[in-house]
Amino acid sequence: MALYSDAAMVLFYDIDGNTADHDDWHSYEHFHERLSVPGFRRATRWVARDAEPRYLVTYEVSDVDVATSKGYLDRLNDPTPWTSEMMLRFRGMIRGFCHITAGSGFGFGQAAMALRFLPIEGEEERLSTWIAQDVLPAVTSRRGIVSAHLFRPVPPPPMTREQALRGPDKAMPWMVLVTACDDAALEQAVAAHLSPESFQSNGASEEIILGSYGLHYTATAEEAARTAPLPVLTPEQRAGGGPRG
């Protein structure tokens, strides 16, 4: 495994209304805020190419215990005005902290395939071992593939003020995330190694969701620490494009 850590928070969701406004909030305020919480290491936003929901966001964290840390819960229970407004527009949130239990390769390429699934009860370890030993190394052995990792969720974190604003989250399933620098190579690798039939024959349940995403924005805690938070914006300053006055 060769990401920033062996744990992550993963989110899938849609936004009601103007997605450009969401992206502005996420880039201008939210990433810096999250990366300033102790334990957050890297934040990455992906946008759907051929997938639902529109957004996939990964936060690599020092450990899944960050989910119940004081710094994180204090932040979630005291959302900024802009965050409070944005939470009302979230739809279909799937969220969870995960152990990254297996991986091959390192870093993120510009194209990603996210495979979401659940194991059949009693088949968890057989499925996990097959993915770790057979699937991930085979995927990253192919030209143009950068990395492949298995995310296994832990029990949901406690309800917070932010979650109350947007409504209950759906539980995060298992996920294999494959990234590549070459789109065609990624499609070929997925067809060869991530077919729903192969996962089902090795212990996955019938419902398997595969989605294509593109890298939209990524930043690390080290970068955030070297950058002062930007000024709080009024609703008028947030509206429209161009310089903020």
Question: DSSP secondary structure string, 102-160?
Answer: EEEE-S--SEEEEEEE-BPTT-HHHHHHHIIIIIHHHHHTSTTEEEEEEEEE-SPPPP-
34 contacts 224 by C-beta, under 8 angstroms: no
Distance CA 121, CA 239 (A): 49
Averaged confidence pLDDT in the chain: 95
DSSP-derived secondary structure letter, 67: G
Q: pLDDT at position 97, please?
A: 97
Distance CA 69, CA 75 (A): 10
**Spatial CB neighbours of 211, under 8 Å, sequence gap ≥ 6:** 48, 50, 51, 52, 56, 113, 114, 116
Task: Evaluate if pTM is beyond 0.75.
Answer: yes
Q: pLDDT at position 1, please?
A: 55
Amino acid in position 128 = S
Helices (H), 26-100: 31-35, 70-76, 81-87
Q: What is the pLDDT of residues 97-135, one digit of tens each?
A: 999 999 999 999 999 999 999 999 999 999 999 999 999
Q: pLDDT at position 245, please?
A: 62
Q: What is the pLDDT of residues 59-80, one digit of tens each?
A: 999 999 999 999 999 999 999 9
Architecture of domain 7-231: 2-Layer Sandwich (3.30)
